[in-house]
Amino acid sequence: AQSVTQPDIHITVSEGASLELRCNYSYGATPYLFWYVQSPGQGLQLLLKYFSGDTLVQGIKGFEAEFKRSQSSFNLRKPSVHWSDAAEYFCAVVKGNKLVFGAGTILRVKS
């Protein structure tokens, strides 16, 4: 069963515009959730994570994500996108002793 769904394969936003990347999960009453970013030709880097507590979490590079249990969602947001944010973004959830990734969303930034 799919544990993490990222509905958008590609998203294009203008530089300076706001961004929201969607993530829905289907595992765990209290999930451990992550967002990772992959720049072209690179490995993955952690943006932020949620385990418990405040449902709005802050990450690096000005990103934030909000955990909504009622919607089984953990959407990633940024108020103003920079050209350097162009990358692929992955949502992930802990399932037992494993980390399960979504299919990813490719972000394109147009100037």
Partner 1 sequence: NAGVTQTPKFQVLKTGQSMTLQCAQDMNHEYMSWYRQDPGMGLRLIHYSVGAGITDQGEVPNGYNVSRSTTEDFPLRLLSAAPSQTSVYFCASSYGRGSTDTQYFGPGTRLTVL
- Binding letters toward partner 1, positions 48-67, x by CB under 8 A: -x-x----------------
Number of neighbouring beta carbons within 10 Å of residue 105? 20
Q: Which is nearer to partner 1, 86 or 103 (CB)?
A: 103
The nearer residue to partner 1, 3 or 109, going by C-beta atoms, is 3
Amino acid at 103: A
In angstroms, the Cα distances linking 41 to 44, 64, 66 are 10, 24, 28
User: Strand, coil or helix: what is 9?
Assistant: coil
Residue 44 is a binding residue for partner 1 (CB under 8 A): yes
- 9 binding partner 1? (CB under 8 A): yes
Quote the least distance from Cβ 111 to partner 1, whole Å. Answer: 26
